[in-house]
Amino acid sequence: MFKRLILMVGAAVVLALTARAQATQVELANLREDVRGLVQRVGELTLRVEALERQNAELREKLNAGTPAYATLEQLNDAVNELKRAIAAGDNATAERAATQIKRLGDATNAAIDSLAKGLATRPTVTTFNENYPKEGVSYTVQKGDTLALIAKKTGAKTQDIINANKIVDPSHIVVGQTLFIPTGPAK
């Protein structure tokens, strides 16, 4: 009877160790997948930074090209005054030259403004965060499958409060293992 009891205990220990080994393998596989995802994300961010650096260098080259891509107020005033003098003198050829120069300067100014507008349109948006969220709360470690909405539901917090408290720029990119502050008190 004692031998049978030892065999049963031994079998239970072996089963427990086997189950623990399998659980460890699953955790290890999950960690590997998480690391692979992080490596991929870092690679994407590196490419994005390189592209932004190239664009910045191109803009600096254009800026340092020597000739301005805009007309100064003084240049426009000079051209207008020349046009007024030509009209007063009745010199049509001079008036046409002045009008051509004003048009050229206006076109250059418009092109510069358009270029600046395009540059501003491609600039990434700046995210601002509201400080009106509860300052008391708890820490939460992001689990596999978590979203901010799910975390808010689990903890009873507001999703926007979690975003503001943790200054999360892209709410769709939270990472397993990331620790978040979850505001739980009344807003101040």
Count CB neighbours of 157 within 10 A.
24
> Which secondary-structure segment (H or E) carries 179?
strand 179-183
Query: CA 50 to CA 35: how far, in whole Å?
Result: 22
Percent of the chain with pLDDT over 90: 22
Query: CA 181 to CA 106: how far, in whole Å?
Result: 54
Are the C-beta atoms of residues 134 and 183 closer than 8 Å to each other?
yes
What token pair was written down for 134?
A: 């509860």
For residue range 79-111, what is the model confidence (pLDDT) as tens digits? 888 877 777 776 677 677 777 888 888 888 887
Distances (CA, A) of 74 to 40, 64, 123, 137, 138: 53, 21, 31, 60, 62
pTM exceeds cut of 0.95: no
Residues contacting residue 56 through CB under 8 Å, at least 6 positions apart: none
For residue range 29-45, what is the model confidence (pLDDT) as tens digits? 777 888 787 778 877 87
Is the pLDDT assigned to residue 123 strictly greater than 70?
no
